[in-house]
């Protein structure tokens, strides 16, 4: 029997709102789920080009995905989100902004990185403000584990980048230890804090919320060797 602390992450099911009585609004192609891609995520088919692809893992409402897609039209962005309601909000923002270089995929990022995304097929992965799961008995639900670091290594190309920020110092130290000690990643100097130019000028919604509360933000950046 697998001990409970080794239970695979895929046992965490996507969150589908029980309140939805009407069929949800069709947000395709901006929102689709992993199950819509039985043959895996083929970037050329999804975007119709060979531009570099960056992942926003646990994208929430998609502030990073939307802003980055607007700022870098030559790069394709894919937000992966377990909570379909949040993922659909992010997709609605992409639709409103007519951003053809970004998509949201509903599902578990562990599954996506393990089975749906081809090896060495993404230029960067962003993991911003992963859920801290404060209670000790819930810590095993955290997304960043040594297996997750290996999965990032699997999908990110050599020289590709991993960005991870959080306001939780203890979790940041865990992430830093996993990444700094991984033989395939090299730590780089992370960007320092920058004053926002307007009210939505933050990397993500959680960065905005936490900085407005005055919390320090811990930023990490690594390069795949």
Ligand X SMILES: C[S@@+](CC[C@H](N)C(=O)[O-])C[C@H]1O[C@@H](n2cnc3c(N)ncnc32)[C@H](O)[C@@H]1O
Among 69, 80, 155, 178, binds ligand X (CB under 6 A): 80
The rounded distance, in Å, linking the Cα atoms of 94 and 116 is 22
Show the beta-strand stretches assigned E in 29-177.
31-33, 53-57, 76-81, 102-106, 122-128, 156-166
* CB 195, CB 151: distance < 8 Å: no
Among 76, 121, 164, 205, binds ligand X (CB under 6 A): 205
Is 150 designated active site? Answer: no
Angle between helices 63-71 and 84-96 (to 10 degrees): 30
Sort strands 31-33 and 102-106 into parallel, antiparallel or unpaired: parallel
Among 109, 155, 175, 178, binds ligand X (CB under 6 A): 109
Which one from 36, 111, 131, 183 is the annotated catalytic residue? 131
Locate 3 and state its tokens.
């001990």
If binding means CB under 6 A, how many residues of this protein chain bind ligand X?
21
CB 215, min distance to ligand X, A: 13
Nearest to ligand X of 31, 206 (CB atom): 206
Stretch that binds ligand X, among 40-48, 65-73, 106-114, 178-186 (CB under 6 A): 106-114
Q: Which residues are catalytic?
A: 131
Question: Which residues of the shown chain bind ligand X in the complex (CB under 6 A)?
Answer: 9, 12, 58-60, 80-83, 86, 108-110, 128-131, 143, 204-206
């Amino acid at each position: 029997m697998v001990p409970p602390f080794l239970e695979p992450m895929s046992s965490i099911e996507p969150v589908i709102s029980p309140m939805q009585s009407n069929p949800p609004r069709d947000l395709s192609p901006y929102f689709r789920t992993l199950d819509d891609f039985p043959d895996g995520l083929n970037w050329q088919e999804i975007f119709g080009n060979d531009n570099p692809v960056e992942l926003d893992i646990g994208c929430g409402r998609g502030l990073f995905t939307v802003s980055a897609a607007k700022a870098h039209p030559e790069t394709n962005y894919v937000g992966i989100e377990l909570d379909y309601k949040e993922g659909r909000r992010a997709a609605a923002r992409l639709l409103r902004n007519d951003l053809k270089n970004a998509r949201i995929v509903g599902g578990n990022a562990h599954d996506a990185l393990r089975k749906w995304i081809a090896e060495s097929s993404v230029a960067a992965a962003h993991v911003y403000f992963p859920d801290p799961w404060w209670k000790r008995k819930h810590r095993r639900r955290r997304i960043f584990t040594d297996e997750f670091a290996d999965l990032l290594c699997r999908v990110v190309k050599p020289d590709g980048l991993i960005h991870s920020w959080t306001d939780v110092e203890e979790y940041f130290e865990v992430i830093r230890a996993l990444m700094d000690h991984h033989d395939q990643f090299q730590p780089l100097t992370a960007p320092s804090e920058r004053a926002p130019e307007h009210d939505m000028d933050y990397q993500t919604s959680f960065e905005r919320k936490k900085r407005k509360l005055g919390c320090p933000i811990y930023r990490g950046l690594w390069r795949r060797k």
